[in-house]
Chain A
Amino acid sequence: MGGRGRGRGNAVSFNIEQLGFGRGEAGPVSVTQPPPLFPSLENRPLPLIKDVENEYILVTQKDLSTRMRNSPFYLKPSENTSYEKELPVLWNRMPAELRETLPKRLATGNSKVTLNAKKKKVEDPDKIFAKLEKKERTESEVEEDGDGKEDEDDQDKSDDEKVEMEDDVVEDDDPEMDDETDYANNYFENGEAYLDDEDGQDDGEAQF
């Protein structure tokens, strides 16, 4: 900060008095260590408002916390039971990928049970599976394959992490199989009939 008033054009842009110090006084103390972890509390804050509303809120808050902690929605780490039955969630409003067992699979009788079945304690899928097996035995003879694959799943824990595992476990090497099911193949027309029907179309009406 030299050049105070020493010749024209060398002066600094502010007046030292503007900072609030006189000529002789010392400057501010320089900082020698990091600031303390908590700043010191100079003024005590105002006391908390305690009125009817807040009393009610205190009680309700505790009640709500306990209720929510005990509700089935409070997730604790547990691997065992089938969560789809336990969790009182509206499953039909959610993306299918969130479900534990994919509904289409069960209906078509494919043997994919649960993705993370570490222990085979799951009762319901077993029962359904057994029923389906019986049905399938009367309908077709393909399911030997499926059983073998299912055991593989139980042993192979790393499959749990791989999301593409659904594709891995597919019995039929159907190249057109989209993610979990192949209903896409059957449900939508596969377009080959498109041109054939043109002769029989309406006269000049707009097609959407």
Chain B
Amino acid sequence: MSSFTLGHFSQVCSQLLNHYYGEIVGQVGSYLLRRGNRMLNDIPTATGLSIREVKKALAVMIQHNLVKFQASERNNNVAEYTMIHHNVYCLIRYPKYLYMIKRIYGTSEEILLEILLNLGQASASNVIFHSANRLNEANVLSPSALHQSFQRLAQDNFIIRCPKLAENATLLKVPTLEIEEKEKFAVPNVEIEPIARMLKEKATQLGGHCDSEIIWRVNHERFDIELRNVILVNAAARRVDTTAGELYHLILKLWRESSNPDSPVTTPVSYNVIKDAVRKNDSSPILLEHFDHYLRVLYEDSAGLIDRAGDAGGGQFNLDYSKVFENLACASLDSIVLERFGSKALRLFRLTRIQKFMEQDQMQNVAMIPAKEAKMFTYKLLEHNFLQIKELKKGTSNFAPVKSFILYHVELPQVVRTTLEASYKGLFNAMVRQMHDLTENQRLLEKHAMLESMLERLKGDGVPDEEIAELSDTMPPAEKSLVEKIHLMSDNLTLGQTQADETILILESYLKFKSKEL
């Protein structure tokens, strides 16, 4: 299936589906990404797959919250399927989710989340059962401890309940699913004994259980918020220092508890509330001592991490997401320009961005760059769409040649969108290259993996060292170094993808909050 008709973002999504769920799901997914709402019948003809495979692919994607369905208007018994673009893209962030959960809570919550990510949608008992199985070598964690961990995750909204089957759903061909606001994070009673019993019997599946109709999934929106908070806290820590980062983290929590998650500006929080929170929380002594200074530094900083919104209660502080993400996006663009074109180009870019509209002459004078170089860099920036041109005609008399002013400016949403597309493309390229390297050398890598595992086993059995060395020599050093190289390259590509994803998050957030404020 040609991926040339997909935009860059959809190409990335299609690549992710291929990687995690296989070619069949990838093909069905690409088709739906390209075509939007489709019914079951349309898919086999377009993709060349058998209807059986298409059904399996759709079932897998629905299970993993990547596809949603709705009864078609024309015929109630048939469903129309649509991809949930954002969730497909979030596949790339799963390792980050796990890292965050591990950092905030601990290993048992991390395992719970991993199991839920693997299953897609599952009941609480199922998740607890499988997690206990996974951790069974330690045998320290009992199902009830895992149940508490599960509750913690639900309380902080990292996992959310899926809509349940409506009353008449079993009679309909296309079930309707609905959920009420208050039920979204309510953990049902989970019977621990059956789970414990199954675990003792070393069962691989949990049989029927009381909460089998209450299904949970990962709450992507909450993780997005958390990822954004991490970026902001890191920004605060870089701007000032780590203690400021700590303070900022606390304030973010206060804002989150009091604000509507959809609003672009948080509700203001007063100075006294912040001070209380700092004292209650186990903060470092430096923070307690210099709390005033840190707060002041943060809100006077031009990055807009904290805005002073009023004077009541010792000072009211809030956060304007669109402003802070505009600053972050600009910082990202600045560093991109710097690394690609050099510091002189960066000076021109920043100048134009801050001054809004500038003429060529003005630019080279204010930036203090020699004329020829200034012109070259201006042209380069223009060519790569970092600068935009606006022409103003200044025709006065009918006889004189019409003079026009050529003004340069930076239209931020447009530049951000171009850079975002370029980031998706870079991400896609890295993924394709990684896939290519791994499949081309698959035999070699598998051979190496088998050899390694065999050596490990033998070492564990206490086989003498000379024999082990002999066995490991069956693979020539040239091959070994090749395998090393492949692993290194694959690691670098993964890191590159992760970093590209961070930039993408910042740019996407800017565009999202910008569109909200209008």
Contact = CB atoms under 8 A, between A and B. Distances in A.
Interface of A: 8-9, 11-14, 18, 20, 42-43, 45-46, 48-50, 53-54, 56-58, 60-61, 64-65, 67-69, 71, 73-77, 79, 83, 87-100, 115-116, 160-161, 163, 178-179, 187
25 contacts: A11-B401, A46-B339, A48-B495, A48-B499, A49-B495, A50-B495, A56-B95, A57-B99, A60-B95, A64-B114, A64-B117, A67-B118, A73-B64, A75-B53, A75-B57, A76-B24, A77-B24, A90-B215, A94-B59, A94-B175, A161-B50, A163-B51, A178-B77, A179-B78, A187-B171
Interface of B: 19-25, 40-41, 44-45, 50-53, 55-60, 62-64, 69, 77-79, 94-96, 98-99, 102, 114, 117-121, 162, 165, 170-171, 173-175, 177, 215, 339-342, 360, 371-372, 375, 399-404, 491-492, 494-496, 498-499
A96 B172 CA distance: 8
What 4 pairs between A and B have smallest CB-CB spacing? Answer: A95-B79, A60-B95, A75-B24, A57-B95
A73 B120 contact: yes
Contacts of A53: 99
Contacts of B401: 9, 11-13
Majority SS at the chain A contact face: loop
Contact of B404 (A13, A79, A88): A13
Nearest to B172: A96
Contacts of B341: 43
A150 B24 CA distance: 28
A160 B117 CA distance: 33
A187 B171 CA distance: 10
A48 B371 CA distance: 35
Contacts of B56: 75, 83, 87
A73 B402 contact: no
Contacts of A67: 118
A187 B23 CA distance: 41
A9 B397 CA distance: 11
A174 to B, nearest CB: 15
A182 to B, nearest CB: 12
Contacts of B170: 92
A60 B95 CA distance: 6
Nearest to B92: A61
A74 B21 contact: yes
Contacts of A13: 401-404
A83 B63 CA distance: 14
Contact of A161 (B51, B63, B94, B372): B51
Nearest to B498: A57
Contact of B60 (A65, A77, A89, A100): A89
A97 B20 contact: no
A12 B204 CA distance: 82
A12 B401 CA distance: 7
A98 B55 contact: yes
Given A76-B24, A115-B51, A163-B40, 14 more contacts: A14-B404, A56-B98, A57-B498, A60-B98, A64-B94, A68-B20, A73-B63, A83-B52, A90-B121, A92-B170, A93-B177, A97-B173, A178-B77, A179-B77
A20 B162 CA distance: 64
Contact of B50 (A56, A68, A160): A160
B51 A100 contact: no
B175 A95 contact: yes
A127 to B, nearest CB: 20
Contacts of B399: 8-9
A97 B57 contact: no
B204 to A, nearest CB: 11
Contacts of B21: 68, 73-75
B63 A54 contact: no
Nearest to A44: B339
A58 B174 contact: no
B52 A97 contact: no
A157 to B, nearest CB: 10
A64 to B, nearest CB: 6
Nearest to A179: B77
Contacts of B360: 18
A54 B495 contact: yes
Nearest to A102: B173
Contacts of A115: 51-52
Contacts of B20: 65, 68-69, 74
A96 B63 contact: no
Contacts of A61: 95, 494
A11 B397 CA distance: 14
B516 to A, nearest CB: 29
Contacts of B40: 95, 97-98, 163
B102 to A, nearest CB: 8
A51 B184 CA distance: 36
A121 to B, nearest CB: 14
B56, B342, B375 pick with most chain A CB within 10 angstroms: B56
Contacts of B44: 161, 163
B449 to A, nearest CB: 10
Contacts of A92: 165, 170, 175
B22 A95 contact: no
